[in-house]
Amino acid sequence: MKQKRAAMPFSTRVRLIMRERFNLRDDKADDAEIESRIRESIELRGATPWILVFAIFVASVGLNVNSAAVIIGAMLISPLMGPIMGAGLGAAVFDFDLVKRSLINMGIATLISLIVSALYFWLSPLQQAQSELLARTSPTLWDVLIALFGGLAGVVGITRKEKSNVIPGVAIATALMPPVCTVGFGIATGQWRFAGGAMYLYTINCVFIALATVVGIRAVGLKKHGFATAAIAKKMKTTLFFLALLTALPSAYLAFQLVKDEVFRSNAQDFIRKEFVFQNAQVVDSKIDPAKHTIDVSLVGDPIGKDTIENIEAKLAGANLSGTKIILHQMGDHRLNVTELKSSLLTDLLHESQAVVKQRDAQVQKLTADLAKRNAVFNQAESVGKELRQLYPEITKMIIGEGVEISSDGPSQPLLYLNLNTRKALSGDAQKRITDWIKIRMGKESVEIRFDSEQALKPLSPDRSIRRGKS
């Protein structure tokens, strides 16, 4: 075999090697199995519509909070690819009943998606359009290419004998869920420009995935249904061609405009960076509008003279910015320079920081003083206890604490509370002297003392009681 191949012309050997390397029919599954896989994914019954609803909610949340990871997760569980590939299969093998059924299911899935996403965004408190959402409102030619090549990858994967993981990747690449959810956002918020752009992107994805499926099915050689005539085949090809052309042309125009705007924006940024360089003035802000062909520049520092401005404008043509208008805003006068401005800004920032630090220091000092005041009682407790036992040896135990006295006929006030255990009951005069002494010693106006004698705490006869004193 090798000798026979070596005898072949070089071009023939190359063609043979390429055919062997890129032959799609070597590991192709049976035609019946391929059709069965695609047909099974078409129907929107049972669990499938619920999965669609949940995927729509997930995608809407992802767009709402601007989370790319959440959006990717929604695309992975979306069942929208099935009806689209079903329509492509039907067109490829001339099974028009399959095309009809696929389109009906696709329409139902789209309607469910729009209702669920619009309901979510109508109820959501977050009404700001985030970057992930805005990215789905202006489709271009690149989106056409993504849908086409993504669809081709999908049909190649689904026609293999061994099941591959290509389809989830295709679902992520072609991104069917985000645009349809963006349409729901536009409907819910009344932003019809967003809704129109996103619906166009969704249409691009659907059409070119279906067309890619047609091309892929033809490439792997699935048999056409016998009832298709040459006239029907020609009509089908013509219809598909014009459908693709009609879908792609607006996106090509939008892509051209996007490239044009990006080129203008890049040239304008380079122009500002090179030409607006001055010794005593600095650019603090710039706005570039490709649609109006304007460059809006704000300067701070010494004013720029008219001659300098005219000299800058004369260089626009050389920077591929012919017809561009420069709008110049100058702030400050000749006494102000950039260094002084920076110094002033830093000084203000420093003063603000110092003010914040002083405020926090004051708070810390107040809290420290409050804590020290509260701890003063407990710090004195041991010495007060010793002094009180010297005056009244009958005292065996003292418990001291602080609280708040709440009265129904007046404002609440701090309260010092003591519990004194004595060997025997103290007289009323002794209890009053102790109370007055504690007030003076601890510096407290409101004091409550509970006197408990050890005799009273023993089992009592019915005619005896516990004696307490209060002040």
Sheet arrangement for strand 294-301? 281-289, 294-301, 325-331
192 is written with which tokens?
């019809």
* Nearest C-alpha neighbor of 194 from the set 137, 133, 247, 250: 137
* Nearest-angstrom CA–CA distance, 67 and 182: 14
User: What integer pLDDT is reported at residue 341 of this predicted model?
Assistant: 54
CATH number for region 377-457? 3.30.300
Burial of residue 405 (CB within 10 Å: 0-12, 13-18, 19+) is middle
Statement: the pTM of the whole predicted model exceeds 0.75: no
| CATH 3.30.300 location in the chain | 377-457
User: What integer pLDDT is reported at residue 462 of this predicted model?
Assistant: 44
Burial of residue 342 (CB within 10 Å: 0-12, 13-18, 19+) is exposed
* Nearest-angstrom CA–CA distance, 86 and 108: 14
225 is written with which tokens?
């249904």
User: What integer pLDDT is reported at residue 460 of this predicted model?
Assistant: 42
Encode the chain (471 residues) as per-residue pLDDT tens digits: 555 666 667 677 777 777 777 777 777 778 788 888 888 888 888 888 899 999 899 989 988 888 888 888 888 787 888 888 888 888 888 888 888 899 999 999 999 999 999 999 999 887 777 777 777 777 777 777 888 888 888 888 888 877 666 666 666 666 788 888 999 999 998 888 888 888 888 888 888 888 888 888 888 878 777 555 677 777 777 877 777 777 777 777 777 777 888 888 888 889 888 888 887 778 878 888 887 888 888 888 778 888 888 888 888 888 888 888 888 887 654 444 555 556 666 776 777 777 777 787 788 887 777 776 666 667 777 788 788 788 888 888 888 877 777 766 666 677 777 888 888 888 888 888 888 888 887 777 778 888 888 765 555 444 433 334 443
Q: Which residue has the tokens 């103290």?
A: 426
| CATH 1.20.1080 location in the chain | 20-228
456 is written with which tokens?
């009273």
User: What integer pLDDT is reported at residue 467 of this predicted model?
Assistant: 39
CATH number for region 20-228? 1.20.1080
25 is written with which tokens?
């029919």
* Nearest-angstrom CA–CA distance, 449 and 291: 85
* Nearest-angstrom CA–CA distance, 142 and 255: 7
Q: What angle do CA 80, 83, 85 make, to 5 degrees?
A: 100
